[in-house]
A and B are shown apart, each in its own frame.
Chain A
Amino acid sequence: MNTLIFRTIAPLIVSIMLVFSLYICLRGHNEPGGGFIGGLIAAASIQVLGLALGVPDTRKAMRFDPLVVAGGGVLLAAMSGLLSAFTGSPFMTSIWAYLNFGETTVPLSTPMFFDLGVYLVVFGALTAVGLALASDRDEEDL
């Protein structure tokens, strides 16, 4: 697995996968996709990176502890639900806002942030577990 070709091409694959995962996540509300699938794709991309570079370098490249990312995801999801308290409606009632930029309209909503939270949780938790399993026998601390 550790060939020169793979190591060279892996970052490219990974970056494409990450962008794609975000795309899948964001389009989820109307097309097949969503936070869960997006998170899975992103987690898979990190596994690819792990295969190519080895676990320690992958961790360094990630810059964040994946469990922190996952925790942030739970927080983001819960917070997006709390926003509805400001409108006086029950927890997790969705709020929509439409921003107009000239010709295009960008819809923003609490479900979107919720979905991003799901994305982060799936991404973080699976990456953490995958990397931990991979580095089980490595010298570095988990």
Chain B
Amino acid sequence: MNAPFDAGIALVAVVPFVAALLAPFLHRFTGRFTGWLLALVPAAIFVFLLSFVERVVGGEAIKVSFAWVPAYHLNLSFYLDGLSLVFALTISGIGALIVLYSGAYLEGHRHQGRFFTFMLAFMGAMLGLVLADSLLALFLFWELTSVTSFLLIGFDHGRQASRRGAIQALVITNIGGMALLAGAILVSQIAGTWDMSALRETGDLLRQSGFYGLVLFCFIVAAFTKSAQFPLHFWLPNAMEAPTPVSAFLHSATMVQAGVYLLARMTPVLGGTQVWTTVLVVFGGLTLIWGGLGALKQTDLKQILAQTTIASLGLLVLLIGLGSEASIAAMVVYFVAHAFYKAALFMVAGAVDHETGTRDITVLRGLADKMPVTFIAAALAALSMIGLPLTIGYFAKEEMYLGLLSGDPTQIATLVILVVGNALLAGVAMLVMIRPFLGEAVPTPREPHEAPIAMLVGPILLGGLAIVAGILPEWLGHDVLQPASLAILGRAVESHLSLALDFTSLLLWLSVLTWLLGIAVYRQADGARTVLRRIDNAMRWNADTVFDDVMFGLIRFSGAVTRFLHHGRLELYLVVVFGALALALFGPLLVWSGFDWLVPAADLGNWWIRFDLSSLTFYEWGVVLLAAAGLVVVVISPTRLTAILSLGVQGTALALIFLLFGAPDLAFTQFMIEVLSVAVLAFVMARLNLDRRDARPPEDWLRDGSIALVCGVGVTLMLMQVLSGTLDTRLSDLFTATSVPIAHGHNIVNVILVDYRGFDTLGEISVVMGAGIAIIALMRVRKVVQVKKPRAPRKRKEPA
């Protein structure tokens, strides 16, 4: 096909953002049909991406690249191979159903338009993430998913739990984001390229690099935070505070899978080593069991599903860690299976919640009569989750076990973990399918009835697909598995998928064992819950409370630091500032010039000759005397008003010196500043007590006086040093020579300000502007405080 058509994959990541911007306006005009309309966007993307399937299956990888920030080698490059295609198809496909679903779920919600915006932006970020080729672009989209998910989780921002969940997710995933950036920079330094497609050509370069451990650590931290691996899993259940459509999207196809995607993407260059396998398998296995047990603890449908997501993510990471052909194949198939059933189940949970008013499985019974379609959808999805034959979940499970039949002790241990984990998931699936829907009907907070059609399309379609994909294993193997494993392993994996049941095969009996264990889990679920909760209560803390402790500790710590540094006593600030100035003046003189700096100081003895004061004219004398008089009056004046005015006199004298010695611009500015500061100070001071100054105790007087003296001597010495050298006039010569021909101006100062260094000036005036706003904001704050709590009159220190 032609190039412009390929360039369309760049649009795939952009179009959702555009739709996100338009969503609120669209919502205003289309009201309750917005969901149907907006679902067209991801649906169109889905169809567009489908057109690439044939070429990708043929082994082709489509790459589109635009220069973005060429100075930093940052390209906006997109890459479509088997792996990204599978992810992008699930994101856009499930995304379409979710958008449709949320149109009905949040119907009449005050901020529904805003919700669509967040949702579509999130989708765009995810699509960009899986399609990005450059590691930097990947990082940008990665962070975008964190930010947009923060907005989505905290959507119901009136509730504290919602805000906490959002902040927690943001903090944890951003730690990973930083790790990803560090890892990406390291990789680019080692391999000399930012592009992941080019990275694959470098072979063992990364694995043999001395920094392999560090790179691996960075990427694993990134992937584990995003994909909620133990012990960083705790943010995921708290993210359940988001509206259900968000959970369905977040958990099935999108953000939490980003970590899995990253690990799969990096497998060709980082994977396959001993440490890689060990870390991923150990943590993946832990997460699998932890999530499975966690699901049993819960009674809330959404919480149960959230915990199984953690388990599934552990499973995926474990499979990537194993890295054999069969386990990568299992990873791909399981990813698809999980996306289907998890999205469907979440949408079912949302529908149940929406129609009955509760999600607690201990109080829900017999909904199948009232909500038959919902029940069918739940059953289809759950069957796939259990892994019964004729579902896609079955193949995923078979493939997993297939890779571990060699009899090696570590493999057998892994196999045991997998069987136990799958059994836990199967038990939970039965729980979710059977408990709320079968049995005697019981009264619920709301009278249950079938959910609106827009909320049923998604679960039915996905549940159905889970079966269809299970019936067509050749299609699954050819169109999904092979291209994806080609992208991960670099070679096409032969599909082992078939429908035939072989009763002599160990695999089948392992499956049967899993189901039996699953039934046992289901039957003992209530007892297990009691036991697990008791253990939980016996534990004094868990990852979630540790997070709180760390966060509060951080706040307390920063509070302590702030109180120490920002104590609010102006005189101490000034002591620090001028003390630092004195140090800065004397330090370099002592360190770099040795004792040569004493030479001008020694000259001080005959300063009369050095400055040749006799050459001063009478008006120059006048100016010097004016400055000196102003200074003396500032120091000795008994009232504040006199001090302010005499400071103005002193400044004016200084301006006169500038004027006399050839800096009229500076003099002008100085004049105006003096006038303004005296006027403003007089303005302010007119409202305060100007009669007399605070009396200082002698020790303060001594301290301030000596600092002032040291600073003054320091500045004098520095100026003498500067004047004793020859003046380098190259720059001013250049400006003098060029200001008229280039900038058409005779005033060099102004030419520099508005022309040569115009950009600096632009920055400076922005700072002036910002400072003005800040001052006014500060004064408003003070005003509010004053209204609330009048400030206690400051105690005066009595002279000792």
Contact = CB atoms under 8 A, between A and B. Distances in A.
Chains A and B belong together in one complex: yes
Interface of A: 24, 28-37, 40-41, 43-44, 47-48, 50-51, 67, 70-71, 73-74, 77-78, 81, 91-92, 94, 96, 107, 109, 111-112, 114-115, 117-118, 121-122, 124-126, 128-130, 132-134, 136-137, 142
Interface in B741-796: 743-747, 749-751, 753-755, 758-759, 761-762, 765-766, 768-769, 771-773, 775-776, 779-780, 783
B758 A92 contact: yes
A29 to B, nearest CB: 4
Interface of B: 664-665, 668-669, 672-673, 675-676, 679-680, 683-684, 687, 743-747, 749-751, 753-755, 758-759, 761-762, 765-766, 768-769, 771-773, 775-776, 779-780, 783
A40 B772 contact: no
Contacts of A47: 675-676, 679-680, 683
B765 A129 contact: no
Contact of B676 (A30, A31, A73, A126): A126
Nearest to A55: B683
B750 A40 contact: no
B771 A134 contact: no
B312 to A, nearest CB: 51
B651 to A, nearest CB: 13
Contact of B669 (A29, A40, A109, A126): A40
B772 A37 contact: no
Given A96-B744, A130-B683, A133-B683, A44 B754 contact: no
A67 B776 contact: yes
A30 B684 contact: no
Interface residue SS majority, chain A: helix
A24 B664 CA distance: 12
A73 to B, nearest CB: 7
A36 B687 CA distance: 30
B673 A78 contact: no
Given A33-B668, A67-B776, A51 B754 contact: no
A43 B674 CA distance: 12
* Those 10 A-B pairs whose CB atoms lie nearest each other, nearest first: A125-B772, A40-B672, A32-B664, A29-B745, A30-B746, A134-B683, A121-B765, A111-B754, A34-B750, A47-B679
Nearest to B771: A125
Contacts of B665: 32-34, 37
Given A28-B754, A129-B776, A130-B679, 4 more contacts: A28-B747, A33-B747, A81-B758, A111-B745
Contact of A44 (B679, B683, B753, B775): B679
A85 B181 CA distance: 34
Contacts of A124: 769, 772
A44 B672 contact: yes
Contacts of A28: 747, 750, 754
Contact of A33 (B675, B683, B750): B750
Contacts of B771: 125
A74 B765 contact: yes
A118 B754 contact: yes
Nearest to A125: B772
Given A40-B673, A44-B675, A136-B684, A129 B753 contact: no
A117 to B, nearest CB: 7
23 contacts: A33-B668, A33-B750, A34-B747, A36-B669, A37-B669, A40-B668, A40-B669, A40-B676, A48-B679, A77-B761, A81-B762, A111-B743, A112-B754, A114-B754, A114-B758, A118-B761, A122-B768, A125-B771, A126-B676, A129-B772, A129-B776, A132-B779, A142-B783
A31 B761 contact: no
A134 B745 CA distance: 39
Contacts of B762: 74, 77-78, 81, 92, 114
Nearest to A94: B755
A51 B684 CA distance: 11
A29 B746 contact: yes
A68 B672 CA distance: 22
A125 to B, nearest CB: 3
Contacts of A43: 672, 676
B683 A35 contact: no
B759 A107 contact: no
Given A67-B776, A130-B680, A133-B779, A91 B759 contact: yes
A71 B676 CA distance: 21
Contacts of A121: 765, 768-769
Contacts of B679: 44, 47-48, 51, 130
A48 B772 CA distance: 19
A137 B687 contact: yes
Contacts of B672: 37, 40-41, 43-44
A39 to B, nearest CB: 9
A74 B677 CA distance: 23
Contacts of B754: 28-29, 34-35, 111-112, 114-115, 118
A70 B776 contact: no
Contacts of B750: 28-29, 33-34, 115
B746 A31 contact: yes
Contacts of A125: 768-769, 771-772
A70 B683 contact: no
Most chain-A Cβ atoms within 10 A of its Cβ — which of B744, B768, B771? B768
A37 B745 CA distance: 17
Contacts of B768: 70, 121-122, 125
B740 to A, nearest CB: 9
Contact of B759 (A30, A92, A130): A92
A89 to B, nearest CB: 13
A111 B779 contact: no
A29 B747 contact: yes
Given A125-B768, A133-B684, A142 B780 contact: yes
Contacts of A41: 672
Contacts of B761: 77, 114, 118
A74 B683 contact: no
A124 B683 CA distance: 18
Nearest to A112: B754
A136 B765 CA distance: 25
B302 to A, nearest CB: 47
Contacts of B673: 40
Most chain-A Cβ atoms within 10 A of its Cβ — which of B672, B684, B773? B672
B676 to A, nearest CB: 5
A107 B744 CA distance: 10
B684 A134 contact: yes
Contact of A30 (B680, B747, B753, B766): B747
Contacts of A33: 665, 668, 747, 750
A35 B680 CA distance: 21
B765 A77 contact: yes
A50 B676 CA distance: 12
A42 to B, nearest CB: 10
Contacts of A114: 754, 758, 761-762
A136 B687 contact: yes
B765 A118 contact: yes
B772 A70 contact: yes
A137 to B, nearest CB: 6
A50 B761 CA distance: 29
Given A29-B746, A142-B783, A128 B758 contact: no
Contacts of B776: 67, 128-129, 132, 142
A24 to B, nearest CB: 8
B2 to A, nearest CB: 31
Contact of A142 (B675, B755, B779): B779
